[in-house]
Chains A and B, each alone.
Chain A
Protein backbone atom coordinates (compact mmCIF):
# COMPACT_ATOMS: atom_id res chain seq x y z
CA UNK A 1 0.00 0.00 0.00
CA UNK A 2 1.52 3.31 -0.98
CA UNK A 3 1.38 6.41 1.18
CA UNK A 4 -1.39 8.97 0.86
CA UNK A 5 0.81 12.05 0.76
CA UNK A 6 -2.04 14.57 0.68
CA UNK A 7 -3.46 13.04 3.84
CA UNK A 8 -0.03 13.01 5.49
CA UNK A 9 0.53 16.66 4.58
CA UNK A 10 -2.80 17.61 6.11
CA UNK A 11 -1.68 15.94 9.35
CA UNK A 12 1.25 18.38 9.73
CA UNK A 13 -0.11 21.86 10.50
CA UNK A 14 3.28 23.55 9.97
CA UNK A 15 3.14 22.75 6.27
CA UNK A 16 0.04 24.85 5.91
CA UNK A 17 1.74 28.24 6.11
CA UNK A 18 3.36 30.81 3.91
CA UNK A 19 6.63 32.50 4.84
CA UNK A 20 8.96 35.23 3.55
CA UNK A 21 6.68 37.28 1.30
CA UNK A 22 3.91 34.71 1.03
CA UNK A 23 5.95 31.77 -0.23
CA UNK A 24 4.56 28.33 0.64
CA UNK A 25 6.86 26.62 3.12
CA UNK A 26 9.00 23.90 1.57
CA UNK A 27 10.49 22.11 4.56
CA UNK A 28 13.65 20.21 3.63
CA UNK A 29 15.47 20.24 6.95
CA UNK A 30 14.18 16.92 8.23
CA UNK A 31 17.61 15.62 9.18
CA UNK A 32 17.83 18.46 11.72
CA UNK A 33 14.36 17.85 13.05
CA UNK A 34 11.08 16.63 11.64
CA UNK A 35 7.78 18.48 11.84
CA UNK A 36 5.19 17.34 14.34
CA UNK A 37 1.89 15.73 13.38
CA UNK A 38 -1.50 16.62 14.86
CA UNK A 39 -1.73 13.37 16.88
CA UNK A 40 1.62 14.16 18.54
CA UNK A 41 0.67 17.75 19.27
CA UNK A 42 -2.69 16.60 20.61
CA UNK A 43 -1.12 13.95 22.85
CA UNK A 44 1.25 16.52 24.38
CA UNK A 45 -1.54 19.04 24.65
CA UNK A 46 -3.88 16.55 26.31
CA UNK A 47 -1.26 15.78 28.95
CA UNK A 48 -0.67 19.42 29.81
CA UNK A 49 -4.30 20.38 29.52
CA UNK A 50 -6.04 17.57 31.40
CA UNK A 51 -3.60 14.94 32.62
CA UNK A 52 -0.68 16.82 34.08
CA UNK A 53 0.66 14.76 36.96
CA UNK A 54 3.91 13.20 38.04
CA UNK A 55 4.55 9.53 37.38
CA UNK A 56 5.55 6.44 39.36
CA UNK A 57 4.62 7.97 42.71
CA UNK A 58 1.07 9.21 42.97
CA UNK A 59 -1.86 7.19 44.19
CA UNK A 60 -4.33 9.52 42.57
CA UNK A 61 -6.14 9.11 39.29
CA UNK A 62 -4.17 11.54 37.16
CA UNK A 63 -0.83 10.22 38.33
CA UNK A 64 -1.81 6.70 37.46
CA UNK A 65 -3.10 7.81 34.09
CA UNK A 66 0.12 9.68 33.28
CA UNK A 67 2.20 6.71 34.47
CA UNK A 68 0.18 4.37 32.29
CA UNK A 69 0.61 6.54 29.20
CA UNK A 70 4.33 7.08 29.87
CA UNK A 71 4.87 3.33 30.25
CA UNK A 72 2.72 2.63 27.18
CA UNK A 73 5.31 4.48 25.14
CA UNK A 74 8.00 2.18 26.52
CA UNK A 75 6.00 -0.76 25.22
CA UNK A 76 5.55 0.98 21.86
CA UNK A 77 9.28 1.65 21.56
CA UNK A 78 9.97 -1.97 22.43
CA UNK A 79 7.78 -3.15 19.56
CA UNK A 80 9.03 -0.41 17.25
CA UNK A 81 12.67 -1.52 17.48
CA UNK A 82 11.83 -5.19 18.18
CA UNK A 83 13.48 -5.23 21.59
CA UNK A 84 12.97 -8.36 23.70
CA UNK A 85 11.68 -6.54 26.82
CA UNK A 86 10.34 -3.10 27.63
CA UNK A 87 12.72 -2.90 30.60
CA UNK A 88 15.48 -2.53 28.04
CA UNK A 89 14.11 0.84 26.93
CA UNK A 90 15.57 3.79 28.85
CA UNK A 91 14.12 7.24 28.19
CA UNK A 92 16.66 10.04 27.86
CA UNK A 93 16.54 13.61 26.63
CA UNK A 94 17.85 12.51 23.24
CA UNK A 95 20.56 10.59 21.42
CA UNK A 96 23.28 12.82 22.82
CA UNK A 97 22.23 12.09 26.40
CA UNK A 98 21.94 8.37 25.62
CA UNK A 99 25.46 8.11 24.20
CA UNK A 100 26.87 10.13 27.09
CA UNK A 101 25.06 7.82 29.50
CA UNK A 102 26.69 4.74 27.96
CA UNK A 103 30.13 6.40 27.90
CA UNK A 104 29.93 7.56 31.51
CA UNK A 105 28.29 4.43 32.87
CA UNK A 106 29.47 1.43 30.90
CA UNK A 107 32.58 3.11 29.50
CA UNK A 108 33.88 4.62 32.70
CA UNK A 109 33.30 1.37 34.60
CA UNK A 110 34.50 -1.24 32.16
CA UNK A 111 37.04 0.44 29.90
CA UNK A 112 40.64 0.79 30.95
CA UNK A 113 43.84 2.46 29.94
CA UNK A 114 45.00 1.26 26.54
CA UNK A 115 41.60 -0.12 25.50
CA UNK A 116 40.44 1.08 22.11
CA UNK A 117 37.12 2.60 21.09
CA UNK A 118 36.45 2.46 17.37
CA UNK A 119 34.18 4.97 15.63
CA UNK A 120 33.96 6.08 11.99
CA UNK A 121 34.92 9.29 10.23
CA UNK A 122 31.27 10.13 9.54
CA UNK A 123 30.11 10.36 13.16
CA UNK A 124 28.03 13.23 14.51
CA UNK A 125 29.87 15.20 17.20
CA UNK A 126 27.59 13.48 19.73
CA UNK A 127 29.25 10.18 18.88
CA UNK A 128 32.78 11.62 19.02
CA UNK A 129 33.01 13.98 21.96
CA UNK A 130 31.56 11.68 24.68
CA UNK A 131 34.25 9.13 23.78
CA UNK A 132 36.97 11.78 23.82
CA UNK A 133 35.84 12.79 27.29
CA UNK A 134 35.93 9.14 28.35
CA UNK A 135 39.41 8.70 26.85
CA UNK A 136 40.66 11.63 28.92
CA UNK A 137 39.11 10.11 32.03
CA UNK A 138 40.31 6.52 31.75
CA UNK A 139 43.17 6.65 29.26
CA UNK A 140 41.54 4.60 26.52
CA UNK A 141 42.27 5.40 22.88
CA UNK A 142 39.85 6.62 20.21
CA UNK A 143 40.33 5.08 16.76
CA UNK A 144 38.58 6.29 13.62
CA UNK A 145 37.73 4.12 10.62
CA UNK A 146 38.17 6.16 7.41
CA UNK A 147 35.57 6.82 4.71
CA UNK A 148 35.93 6.87 0.92
CA UNK A 149 35.02 9.58 -1.60
CA UNK A 150 31.44 8.33 -1.77
CA UNK A 151 31.13 8.79 1.98
CA UNK A 152 31.16 5.09 2.87
CA UNK A 153 33.15 3.39 5.60
CA UNK A 154 36.17 1.68 3.99
CA UNK A 155 35.28 -1.81 5.14
CA UNK A 156 38.77 -3.34 4.79
CA UNK A 157 40.20 -0.63 6.99
CA UNK A 158 37.37 -0.90 9.50
CA UNK A 159 37.93 -4.65 9.77
CA UNK A 160 41.69 -4.19 10.08
CA UNK A 161 41.21 -1.74 12.94
CA UNK A 162 39.23 -4.27 14.95
CA UNK A 163 41.70 -6.06 17.22
CA UNK A 164 41.69 -7.68 20.64
CA UNK A 165 42.33 -4.16 21.99
CA UNK A 166 38.99 -2.95 20.61
CA UNK A 167 36.60 -3.01 23.55
CA UNK A 168 33.90 -0.72 22.22
CA UNK A 169 32.60 0.18 18.77
CA UNK A 170 30.17 3.04 18.22
CA UNK A 171 28.91 4.07 14.82
CA UNK A 172 26.08 5.86 13.11
CA UNK A 173 23.48 3.75 11.28
CA UNK A 174 22.68 6.56 8.83
CA UNK A 175 24.98 9.56 8.37
CA UNK A 176 23.19 12.86 8.99
CA UNK A 177 25.45 14.82 6.66
CA UNK A 178 26.00 12.26 3.88
CA UNK A 179 22.92 10.07 4.04
CA UNK A 180 25.02 6.89 3.90
CA UNK A 181 23.38 3.77 5.37
CA UNK A 182 26.14 1.80 7.02
CA UNK A 183 26.18 -2.01 6.72
CA UNK A 184 25.36 -2.20 10.41
CA UNK A 185 24.88 -5.94 10.65
CA UNK A 186 28.22 -6.70 9.04
CA UNK A 187 29.98 -4.10 11.19
CA UNK A 188 28.40 -5.43 14.39
CA UNK A 189 29.23 -9.07 13.58
CA UNK A 190 32.85 -8.15 12.91
CA UNK A 191 33.06 -6.17 16.16
CA UNK A 192 31.59 -9.09 18.08
CA UNK A 193 34.18 -11.38 16.57
CA UNK A 194 36.87 -9.50 18.51
CA UNK A 195 34.68 -9.33 21.62
CA UNK A 196 33.75 -5.65 21.38
CA UNK A 197 30.55 -4.08 22.67
CA UNK A 198 28.63 -2.16 19.99
CA UNK A 199 26.49 0.98 20.13
CA UNK A 200 24.46 1.95 17.07
CA UNK A 201 23.43 5.61 16.78
CA UNK A 202 20.12 5.28 14.93
CA UNK A 203 19.04 8.94 15.30
CA UNK A 204 18.95 9.45 11.56
CA UNK A 205 17.61 5.99 10.77
CA UNK A 206 14.42 5.41 12.75
CA UNK A 207 12.16 7.74 10.75
CA UNK A 208 13.31 6.40 7.42
CA UNK A 209 13.80 2.63 7.68
CA UNK A 210 12.93 -0.15 10.07
CA UNK A 211 15.47 -0.76 12.81
CA UNK A 212 15.47 -4.17 14.47
CA UNK A 213 17.77 -4.50 17.48
CA UNK A 214 17.23 -8.25 17.74
CA UNK A 215 18.36 -8.74 14.18
CA UNK A 216 21.25 -6.29 14.51
CA UNK A 217 22.27 -7.86 17.84
CA UNK A 218 23.94 -4.61 18.94
CA UNK A 219 24.47 -4.11 22.69
CA UNK A 220 23.18 -0.53 22.63
CA UNK A 221 21.04 1.51 20.27
CA UNK A 222 20.01 5.15 20.58
CA UNK A 223 17.63 7.52 18.86
CA UNK A 224 15.92 10.88 19.38
CA UNK A 225 12.18 11.50 19.45
CA UNK A 226 12.31 14.76 17.55
CA UNK A 227 13.76 13.23 14.40
CA UNK A 228 10.83 10.80 14.41
CA UNK A 229 8.07 13.46 14.35
CA UNK A 230 8.06 13.41 18.17
CA UNK A 231 8.76 16.11 20.75
CA UNK A 232 12.21 17.56 21.32
CA UNK A 233 13.83 16.56 24.60
CA UNK A 234 12.93 12.90 24.24
CA UNK A 235 15.17 10.02 23.32
CA UNK A 236 15.78 6.36 23.80
CA UNK A 237 18.62 4.16 24.89
CA UNK A 238 18.13 0.49 24.20
CA UNK A 239 20.54 -1.86 25.96
CA UNK A 240 21.02 -5.58 26.37
CA UNK A 241 19.56 -6.74 29.65
CA UNK A 242 22.74 -8.06 31.28
CA UNK A 243 24.62 -4.86 30.47
CA UNK A 244 21.95 -2.50 31.78
CA UNK A 245 21.79 -4.64 34.92
CA UNK A 246 25.47 -4.29 35.71
CA UNK A 247 25.92 -0.66 34.68
CA UNK A 248 26.00 1.94 37.47
CA UNK A 249 23.65 4.93 37.27
CA UNK A 250 25.15 8.21 36.10
CA UNK A 251 22.58 10.51 37.66
CA UNK A 252 21.27 10.05 41.15
CA UNK A 253 17.96 11.36 42.40
CA UNK A 254 14.31 10.56 42.68
CA UNK A 255 12.74 7.57 40.93
CA UNK A 256 16.06 5.78 40.38
CA UNK A 257 16.21 4.33 43.90
CA UNK A 258 14.50 1.55 45.85
CA UNK A 259 15.57 2.73 49.27
CA UNK A 260 17.59 5.67 50.55
CA UNK A 261 19.26 5.98 53.92
CA UNK A 262 22.32 8.00 54.81
CA UNK A 263 24.22 4.76 55.25
CA UNK A 264 23.20 2.88 52.13
CA UNK A 265 21.08 3.52 49.07
CA UNK A 266 19.83 0.75 46.82
CA UNK A 267 19.18 1.56 43.20
CA UNK A 268 16.06 0.76 41.30
CA UNK A 269 16.22 -1.84 38.50
CA UNK A 270 16.67 -0.88 34.85
CA UNK A 271 15.32 1.13 33.12
CA UNK A 272 14.34 3.27 36.15
CA UNK A 273 17.91 3.18 37.48
CA UNK A 274 18.83 5.49 34.60
CA UNK A 275 15.83 7.82 34.76
CA UNK A 276 16.53 10.00 37.78
CA UNK A 277 14.22 12.93 38.35
CA UNK A 278 10.91 13.83 36.74
CA UNK A 279 11.32 13.02 33.05
CA UNK A 280 9.79 14.74 30.02
CA UNK A 281 6.45 13.03 30.63
CA UNK A 282 4.43 14.95 28.05
CA UNK A 283 7.23 14.47 25.53
CA UNK A 284 7.42 10.72 26.05
CA UNK A 285 3.63 10.46 25.67
CA UNK A 286 3.96 12.47 22.45
CA UNK A 287 6.71 10.12 21.30
CA UNK A 288 4.25 7.27 21.72
CA UNK A 289 1.85 9.04 19.37
CA UNK A 290 4.69 9.61 16.89
CA UNK A 291 5.57 5.92 16.91
CA UNK A 292 1.92 5.01 16.34
CA UNK A 293 1.85 7.40 13.43
CA UNK A 294 4.87 6.01 11.56
CA UNK A 295 3.98 2.43 12.45
CA UNK A 296 0.57 2.89 10.86
CA UNK A 297 2.15 4.24 7.70
CA UNK A 298 4.71 1.44 7.70
CA UNK A 299 8.46 1.89 7.65
CA UNK A 300 8.82 -0.10 4.43
CA UNK A 301 6.36 2.15 2.63
CA UNK A 302 8.12 5.20 4.03
CA UNK A 303 11.51 3.92 2.90
CA UNK A 304 10.21 3.14 -0.59
CA UNK A 305 8.57 6.56 -0.96
CA UNK A 306 11.64 8.45 0.26
CA UNK A 307 13.91 6.42 -2.02
CA UNK A 308 11.78 7.55 -4.92
CA UNK A 309 12.04 11.18 -3.69
CA UNK A 310 15.82 10.79 -3.44
CA UNK A 311 16.06 9.51 -7.01
CA UNK A 312 13.90 12.33 -8.33
CA UNK A 313 15.85 14.96 -6.38
CA UNK A 314 19.23 13.57 -7.36
CA UNK A 315 18.26 13.59 -11.04
CA UNK A 316 16.74 17.09 -10.87
CA UNK A 317 19.67 18.67 -9.08
CA UNK A 318 22.27 16.81 -11.09
CA UNK A 319 21.13 18.83 -14.12
CA UNK A 320 22.21 22.09 -12.49
CA UNK A 321 25.65 23.09 -13.77
CA UNK A 322 28.23 23.56 -11.03
CA UNK A 323 26.52 21.39 -8.42
CA UNK A 324 28.64 18.96 -6.39
CA UNK A 325 27.22 16.21 -4.20
CA UNK A 326 28.79 14.94 -0.99
CA UNK A 327 27.64 11.47 0.01
CA UNK A 328 27.10 9.41 -3.12
CA UNK A 329 26.77 5.94 -1.66
CA UNK A 330 24.35 3.59 -3.41
CA UNK A 331 22.92 2.84 0.01
CA UNK A 332 21.64 6.10 1.34
CA UNK A 333 18.55 7.75 2.74
CA UNK A 334 16.96 10.86 1.26
CA UNK A 335 19.64 13.36 2.24
CA UNK A 336 21.44 15.48 -0.34
CA UNK A 337 24.51 17.43 0.75
CA UNK A 338 25.68 19.78 -1.95
CA UNK A 339 27.65 22.83 -2.99
CA UNK A 340 27.00 25.03 -5.99
CA UNK A 341 29.92 26.67 -7.82
CA UNK A 342 31.96 28.44 -5.14
CA UNK A 343 28.97 29.91 -3.31
CA UNK A 344 29.22 29.58 0.45
CA UNK A 345 26.49 27.29 1.87
CA UNK A 346 25.21 30.03 4.16
CA UNK A 347 24.51 32.19 1.15
CA UNK A 348 22.79 29.23 -0.52
CA UNK A 349 20.72 28.73 2.64
CA UNK A 350 19.70 32.39 2.85
CA UNK A 351 18.69 32.67 -0.79
CA UNK A 352 16.70 29.42 -0.58
CA UNK A 353 15.06 30.65 2.60
CA UNK A 354 13.97 33.81 0.83
CA UNK A 355 12.11 31.56 -1.57
CA UNK A 356 10.43 29.62 1.20
CA UNK A 357 12.78 26.64 1.05
CA UNK A 358 14.20 25.53 4.41
CA UNK A 359 17.48 23.63 4.20
CA UNK A 360 20.41 23.35 6.60
CA UNK A 361 23.65 25.11 5.79
CA UNK A 362 26.70 24.32 7.84
CA UNK A 363 28.84 21.44 9.02
CA UNK A 364 25.84 19.52 10.42
CA UNK A 365 27.75 18.73 13.62
CA UNK A 366 30.10 16.58 11.55
CA UNK A 367 33.17 18.76 11.20
CA UNK A 368 35.47 15.79 10.51
CA UNK A 369 33.32 14.95 7.45
CA UNK A 370 33.85 18.50 6.19
CA UNK A 371 37.59 18.15 6.83
CA UNK A 372 37.60 14.83 4.94
CA UNK A 373 36.14 16.53 1.85
CA UNK A 374 38.16 19.71 2.43
CA UNK A 375 35.12 21.99 2.49
CA UNK A 376 33.90 24.41 5.19
CA UNK A 377 30.28 23.34 5.07
CA UNK A 378 27.55 22.12 2.73
CA UNK A 379 23.94 22.87 1.97
CA UNK A 380 21.79 19.93 2.96
CA UNK A 381 18.31 19.11 1.73
CA UNK A 382 16.80 16.24 3.71
CA UNK A 383 13.44 14.76 2.79
CA UNK A 384 10.62 13.13 4.66
CA UNK A 385 7.20 11.57 4.23
CA UNK A 386 5.40 14.84 3.53
CA UNK A 387 7.74 16.07 0.80
CA UNK A 388 6.67 15.96 -2.83
CA UNK A 389 8.08 16.26 -6.34
CA UNK A 390 6.76 19.84 -6.32
CA UNK A 391 8.95 20.56 -3.29
CA UNK A 392 11.94 19.26 -5.21
CA UNK A 393 11.04 21.33 -8.27
CA UNK A 394 10.88 24.42 -6.04
CA UNK A 395 14.26 23.50 -4.56
CA UNK A 396 15.77 23.18 -8.04
CA UNK A 397 14.34 26.56 -9.09
CA UNK A 398 15.63 28.14 -5.91
CA UNK A 399 19.13 26.79 -6.57
CA UNK A 400 18.95 28.29 -10.06
CA UNK A 401 18.19 31.60 -8.35
CA UNK A 402 21.39 31.19 -6.28
CA UNK A 403 23.29 30.89 -9.52
CA UNK A 404 21.59 34.01 -10.88
CA UNK A 405 22.51 36.06 -7.81
CA UNK A 406 26.10 34.84 -7.82
CA UNK A 407 26.89 34.96 -11.55
Chain B
Protein backbone atom coordinates (compact mmCIF):
# COMPACT_ATOMS: atom_id res chain seq x y z
CA UNK B 1 0.00 0.00 0.00
CA UNK B 2 2.68 2.47 -0.97
CA UNK B 3 0.32 4.93 -2.60
CA UNK B 4 -1.99 4.83 0.36
CA UNK B 5 0.93 5.53 2.66
CA UNK B 6 1.81 8.45 0.45
CA UNK B 7 -1.66 10.02 0.64
CA UNK B 8 -2.58 8.99 4.16
CA UNK B 9 0.64 9.58 6.02
CA UNK B 10 0.62 8.94 9.76
CA UNK B 11 0.86 12.67 10.51
CA UNK B 12 -2.29 13.28 8.46
CA UNK B 13 -4.14 10.42 10.12
CA UNK B 14 -3.09 11.71 13.52
CA UNK B 15 -4.34 15.24 12.86
CA UNK B 16 -7.59 13.81 11.50
CA UNK B 17 -8.09 11.86 14.68
CA UNK B 18 -6.99 14.60 17.03
CA UNK B 19 -7.39 17.92 15.24
CA UNK B 20 -5.44 20.74 16.90
CA UNK B 21 -6.93 24.19 17.53
CA UNK B 22 -10.36 22.69 16.94
CA UNK B 23 -13.40 24.67 18.04
CA UNK B 24 -14.89 28.12 17.95
CA UNK B 25 -12.57 30.99 18.79
CA UNK B 26 -14.41 33.50 21.00
CA UNK B 27 -13.55 37.11 20.30
CA UNK B 28 -12.07 36.37 16.88
CA UNK B 29 -11.24 39.43 14.80
CA UNK B 30 -11.46 37.52 11.52
CA UNK B 31 -13.77 34.74 10.43
CA UNK B 32 -14.80 32.93 7.26
CA UNK B 33 -16.87 29.91 6.34
CA UNK B 34 -15.58 27.46 3.75
CA UNK B 35 -17.67 24.94 1.88
CA UNK B 36 -17.05 22.37 -0.81
CA UNK B 37 -20.47 21.85 -2.40
CA UNK B 38 -19.31 18.71 -4.19
CA UNK B 39 -18.50 16.70 -1.09
CA UNK B 40 -20.09 18.66 1.73
CA UNK B 41 -16.82 19.50 3.51
CA UNK B 42 -17.56 22.50 5.69
CA UNK B 43 -15.18 24.48 7.90
CA UNK B 44 -15.17 27.75 9.79
CA UNK B 45 -11.82 29.44 10.28
CA UNK B 46 -11.32 31.98 13.12
CA UNK B 47 -8.39 34.31 13.68
CA UNK B 48 -7.43 36.90 16.23
CA UNK B 49 -5.05 39.32 14.64
CA UNK B 50 -3.38 42.09 16.65
CA UNK B 51 -2.77 45.66 15.50
CA UNK B 52 0.64 44.83 14.10
CA UNK B 53 -0.78 42.10 11.86
CA UNK B 54 0.36 39.13 13.96
CA UNK B 55 -2.01 36.15 14.07
CA UNK B 56 -2.26 35.64 17.82
CA UNK B 57 -4.61 32.71 17.57
CA UNK B 58 -6.13 30.55 14.84
CA UNK B 59 -8.83 27.94 15.25
CA UNK B 60 -11.22 26.00 13.07
CA UNK B 61 -14.36 23.94 13.38
CA UNK B 62 -16.43 21.87 11.00
CA UNK B 63 -16.43 18.51 9.32
CA UNK B 64 -14.98 16.81 6.30
CA UNK B 65 -12.60 14.12 5.15
CA UNK B 66 -9.26 13.25 6.72
CA UNK B 67 -7.30 15.27 4.17
CA UNK B 68 -9.32 18.44 4.68
CA UNK B 69 -9.39 18.15 8.46
CA UNK B 70 -5.68 17.41 8.81
CA UNK B 71 -4.90 20.25 6.46
CA UNK B 72 -6.98 22.69 8.52
CA UNK B 73 -5.44 21.46 11.75
CA UNK B 74 -1.85 21.77 10.53
CA UNK B 75 -2.60 25.12 8.94
CA UNK B 76 -3.70 26.63 12.24
CA UNK B 77 -0.53 25.36 13.87
CA UNK B 78 1.64 26.76 11.10
CA UNK B 79 0.19 30.28 11.11
CA UNK B 80 -0.21 30.85 14.83
CA UNK B 81 2.15 33.58 15.98
CA UNK B 82 3.02 34.50 12.40
CA UNK B 83 2.16 37.57 10.37
CA UNK B 84 -0.66 37.81 7.86
CA UNK B 85 1.98 38.20 5.17
CA UNK B 86 3.64 34.97 6.24
CA UNK B 87 0.30 33.13 6.14
CA UNK B 88 -0.33 34.37 2.62
CA UNK B 89 3.04 33.30 1.31
CA UNK B 90 2.70 29.97 3.09
CA UNK B 91 -0.56 29.41 1.23
CA UNK B 92 1.19 30.22 -2.05
CA UNK B 93 3.73 27.49 -1.33
CA UNK B 94 1.10 25.06 -0.07
CA UNK B 95 -0.97 25.60 -3.19
CA UNK B 96 2.06 24.86 -5.36
CA UNK B 97 2.76 21.73 -3.33
CA UNK B 98 -0.73 20.21 -3.63
CA UNK B 99 -1.22 21.14 -7.27
CA UNK B 100 2.11 19.65 -8.29
CA UNK B 101 3.94 22.84 -9.17
CA UNK B 102 7.64 22.97 -8.40
CA UNK B 103 8.40 24.09 -4.87
CA UNK B 104 11.83 25.59 -4.30
CA UNK B 105 14.08 24.64 -1.39
CA UNK B 106 13.13 27.89 0.31
CA UNK B 107 9.49 27.02 -0.27
CA UNK B 108 9.95 23.61 1.31
CA UNK B 109 11.67 25.21 4.27
CA UNK B 110 8.70 27.49 4.72
CA UNK B 111 6.28 24.57 4.44
CA UNK B 112 8.08 22.42 7.01
CA UNK B 113 5.73 19.73 8.31
CA UNK B 114 3.14 20.67 5.70
CA UNK B 115 5.25 18.79 3.14
CA UNK B 116 3.35 15.65 4.16
CA UNK B 117 0.64 16.84 1.77
CA UNK B 118 2.96 16.45 -1.23
CA UNK B 119 1.22 13.20 -2.18
CA UNK B 120 -2.10 14.98 -2.73
CA UNK B 121 -0.99 16.38 -6.09
CA UNK B 122 -1.25 12.88 -7.56
CA UNK B 123 -4.94 12.75 -6.70
CA UNK B 124 -6.63 15.65 -8.51
CA UNK B 125 -9.99 14.92 -6.89
CA UNK B 126 -8.46 15.51 -3.46
CA UNK B 127 -6.65 18.81 -4.10
CA UNK B 128 -9.76 20.74 -3.13
CA UNK B 129 -9.95 18.84 0.15
CA UNK B 130 -6.42 19.89 1.07
CA UNK B 131 -6.91 23.49 -0.07
CA UNK B 132 -10.35 24.20 1.42
CA UNK B 133 -9.25 25.52 4.81
CA UNK B 134 -6.54 27.61 3.16
CA UNK B 135 -9.04 29.26 0.84
CA UNK B 136 -11.18 29.87 3.89
CA UNK B 137 -8.20 31.41 5.66
CA UNK B 138 -7.76 33.80 2.73
CA UNK B 139 -11.44 34.66 3.01
CA UNK B 140 -11.03 35.37 6.73
CA UNK B 141 -7.99 37.55 6.13
CA UNK B 142 -9.81 39.48 3.42
CA UNK B 143 -12.86 39.61 5.69
CA UNK B 144 -15.00 38.33 2.87
CA UNK B 145 -18.66 38.21 3.81
CA UNK B 146 -19.55 35.42 1.43
CA UNK B 147 -19.07 31.75 2.07
CA UNK B 148 -15.86 30.62 0.44
CA UNK B 149 -16.37 27.69 -1.89
CA UNK B 150 -13.90 25.59 -3.77
CA UNK B 151 -16.02 25.75 -6.92
Partners in one complex: yes
Are A347 and B65 in touch, CB under 8 angstroms?
yes
Check if B97 is an interface residue, CB within 8 A of chain A: no
Q: How far is the CA of A376 from the CA of B42 in the complex (A)?
A: 10
Q: How far is the CA of A363 from the CA of B129 in the complex (A)?
A: 16
Binds A, one of B2-10, B23-31, B99-107, B137-145: B2-10
Q: How far is the CA of A270 from the CA of B66 in the complex (A)?
A: 52
Check if A8 is an interface residue, CB within 8 A of chain B: no
Check if B74 is an interface residue, CB within 8 A of chain A: no
Q: How far is the CA of A343 from the CA of B2 in the complex (A)?
A: 20
**Taking A354-B4, A362-B39, A376-B40 as contacts, is the C-beta distance between A344 and B13 under 8 angstroms?**
no
Interface centre among A361, A367, A376 (most CB of B within 10 A): A376
Check if B59 is an interface residue, CB within 8 A of chain A: no
The number of A-B residue pairs with CB atoms under 8 Å apart is: 54
Are A344 and B4 in touch, CB under 8 angstroms?
no
Are A346 and B39 in touch, CB under 8 angstroms?
yes
Q: How far is the CA of A367 from the CA of B1 in the complex (A)?
A: 33
Q: How far is the CA of A264 from the CA of B7 in the complex (A)?
A: 64
Determine which of B4, B40, B67, B123 lies in contact with A363 in the assembled complex, contact meaning CB atoms within 8 Å: B40
Residues of B within 8 A of A351 (CB): 4, 8
Are B7 and A344 in touch, CB under 8 angstroms?
no
Check if B20 is an interface residue, CB within 8 A of chain A: no
**Taking A362-B39, A370-B40, A377-B40 as contacts, is the C-beta distance between A347 and B66 under 8 angstroms?**
yes
Are A344 and B3 in touch, CB under 8 angstroms?
no
Q: Mark A276-301, 1 if CB is under 8 A from B, else 0.
A: 00000000000000000000000000
Are B65 and A344 in touch, CB under 8 angstroms?
yes
- Minimum Cβ distance to chain B for residue A87 (Å): 40
Residues of B within 8 A of A363 (CB): 39-40
Determine which of B1, B38, B41 lies in contact with A354 in the assembled complex, contact meaning CB atoms within 8 Å: B1
**Taking A346-B129, A347-B67 as contacts, is the C-beta distance between A405 and B8 under 8 angstroms?**
yes
Check if B126 is an interface residue, CB within 8 A of chain A: yes
Q: Mark B122-135, 1 if CB is under 8 A from A, else 0.
A: 01011001000000
Interface centre among B8, B13, B38, B41 (most CB of A within 10 A): B8
Are A354 and B126 in touch, CB under 8 angstroms?
no
Interface size class of B (residues with CB under 8 A): 20 to 34
Q: Mark B56-79, 1 if CB is under 8 A from A, else 0.
A: 000000011111000000000000
A351-407 contacts to B, CB under 8 A, are: 351, 354, 361-363, 367, 370, 376-377, 401, 405-406
Check if A82 is an interface residue, CB within 8 A of chain B: no
Are A401 and B1 in touch, CB under 8 angstroms?
yes
Check if A68 is an interface residue, CB within 8 A of chain B: no
Check if A20 is an interface residue, CB within 8 A of chain B: yes
Residues of A within 8 A of B42 (CB): 376
Check if A21 is an interface residue, CB within 8 A of chain B: yes
Q: How far is the CA of A354 from the CA of B119 in the complex (A)?
A: 13
Residues of B within 8 A of A346 (CB): 39, 41, 65, 67, 126, 129
A69-89 contacts to B, CB under 8 A, are: none
- Minimum Cβ distance to chain B for residue A199 (Å): 27
Interface centre among B13, B64, B65 (most CB of A within 10 A): B65
Q: How far is the CA of A318 from the CA of B40 in the complex (A)?
A: 26
Residues of B within 8 A of A406 (CB): 13, 66
Smallest CB-CB separation from B7: which chain A residue?
A: A350
Residues of B within 8 A of A344 (CB): 64-66
Residues of B within 8 A of A350 (CB): 7-8, 123, 125-126
Q: Mark A5-21, 1 if CB is under 8 A from B, else 0.
A: 00000000000000011
Residues of A within 8 A of B40 (CB): 362-363, 367, 370, 376-377
Are A354 and B13 in touch, CB under 8 angstroms?
no
Q: How far is the CA of A291 from the CA of B16 in the complex (A)?
A: 47
Smallest CB-CB separation from A20: which chain B residue?
A: B3
Q: How far is the CA of A177 from the CA of B65 in the complex (A)?
A: 20
Chain B residues at the A interface, C-beta cutoff of 8 Å: 1-4, 7-8, 13, 38-42, 63-67, 123, 125-126, 129
> Knowing that A363-B40, A377-B39 are A-B contacts, what are 15 other residue pairs whose CB atoms are under 8 Å apart, sorted by A's residue number?
A344-B64, A344-B66, A346-B65, A350-B123, A350-B125, A350-B126, A351-B8, A354-B4, A362-B39, A362-B40, A363-B39, A376-B41, A376-B64, A401-B4, A405-B13
19 pairs of residues in contact across A and B, judged by CB atoms under 8 Å: A20-B3, A21-B3, A343-B66, A345-B39, A346-B41, A346-B65, A347-B8, A350-B123, A350-B125, A351-B4, A351-B8, A370-B40, A376-B39, A376-B42, A376-B63, A376-B64, A377-B39, A405-B4, A406-B66
